[in-house]
């Protein structure tokens, strides 16, 4: 069966002093991901070993939003992720990401090792090469930009994305409307917002393309 494997791990985990806190935050992120993205998951997002996490997905339209949950729950701890579309051949009946195995996981492990040798935080192999590079660039740029912001800047931009009202954000965060306005300008929130829209659109295109592959293969076989 061909499915998507999303694998993530924590950057510099060996230097973190409070491992118990990290585990608790990963578990909280997993809980949110599994609740919010239930329909997309074949196997839940879970800790698979050490500080490594994984999920098996039927579709990838929501992957950027999954990464956003991780970013929100783990900040300021950084993480890296790989996304692979390939065959899974063992443990499927368990519906456990820590048990399922096959070429998709082998490739994900190889890609994670390669990713660790770079400064990037995301790479993918979706089977749609013409989309992969653009998606990688967008996700890496966005994750870098979010990591460059202060906690207050992150809160302001995220809340403004939700409510689109500077005064409401100011009241919620007990700040002045002028500070909210200045922060949105300084962080270039509109560019962030449009880039996030673009990556979500690319992931939807990947889903649609891969969903048509079995049909094309079947038609070729019966021609």
C-beta separation of 82 from 63 below 8 A:
no
CATH number for the domain that contains residue 185: 3.30.70
Q: Is residue 219 part of a domain?
A: no
Total count of domains within the chain:
1
The mean per-residue pLDDT over the stretch 68-85 comes to 94
Cis peptide before 168 (omega within 30 of 0): no
Q: What percent of the chain has pLDDT above 90? A: 86
Q: Is residue 215 part of a domain?
A: no
Q: Is residue 130 part of a domain?
A: yes
DSSP string covering 96-149: -TTT-BSHHHHHHHHHHHHHTTSS-SEEEE-S-HHHHHHHHHHHHHHHHHHHHS
Q: What is the pLDDT of residue 152?
A: 96
Q: What is the pLDDT of residue 145?
A: 95
Q: Is residue 35 part of a domain?
A: yes
Q: Give pLDDT tens digits for 158-168.
A: 999 999 999 99
Q: Is residue 134 part of a domain?
A: yes
| 141 vs 149: CA distance, rounded Å | 13
Q: Which residue in 202, 65, 209 sits closest to 132, CA to CA? A: 202
Q: Is residue 118 part of a domain?
A: yes
3-state helix, strand, coil in the chain (%, to 5): 60, 15, 20
Q: Is residue 50 part of a domain?
A: yes
Range of the domain at 119: 2-210
The mean per-residue pLDDT over the stretch 81-110 comes to 97
Q: What is the pLDDT of residue 212?
A: 81
Q: Are strands 2-10 and 52-57 parallel, antiparallel or unpaired?
A: antiparallel
The mean per-residue pLDDT over the stretch 89-111 comes to 97
Q: Give pLDDT tens digits for 165-223.
A: 999 999 999 999 999 999 999 999 999 999 999 999 999 999 999 988 654 343 333 33
Three-class SS state of 64: helix
The mean per-residue pLDDT over the stretch 119-127 comes to 96
Q: Is residue 217 part of a domain?
A: no
pTM of the model: 0.91
């Amino acid at each position: 069966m061909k499915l998507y494997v999303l694998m993530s791990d924590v950057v510099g985990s060996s230097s973190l002093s409070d491992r118990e806190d990290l585990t608790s935050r990963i578990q909280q992120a997993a809980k949110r991901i599994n609740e919010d993205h239930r329909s997309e998951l074949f196997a839940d997002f879970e800790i698979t070993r050490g500080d490594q996490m994984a999920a098996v997905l039927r579709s990838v339209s929501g992957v950027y939003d999954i990464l956003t949950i991780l970013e929100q729950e783990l900040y300021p701890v950084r993480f890296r992720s790989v996304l692979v579309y390939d065959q899974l051949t063992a443990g499927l009946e368990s519906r456990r990401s820590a048990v399922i195995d096959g070429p998709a996981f082998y490739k994900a492990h190889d890609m994670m090792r390669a990713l660790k040798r770079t400064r990037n935080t995301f790479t993918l192999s979706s089977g749609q090469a013409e989309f992969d590079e653009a998606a990688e660039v967008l996700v890496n740029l966005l994750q870098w930009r979010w990591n460059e912001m202060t906690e207050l800047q992150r809160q302001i931009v995220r809340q403004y994305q939700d409510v689109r009202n500077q005064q409401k954000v100011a009241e919620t965060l007990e700040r002045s409307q002028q500070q909210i306005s200045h922060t949105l300008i300084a962080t270039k929130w509109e560019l962030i917002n449009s880039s996030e829209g673009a990556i979500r659109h690319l992931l939807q295109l990947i889903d649609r393309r891969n969903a048509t592959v079995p049909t094309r293969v079947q038609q070729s076989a019966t021609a």
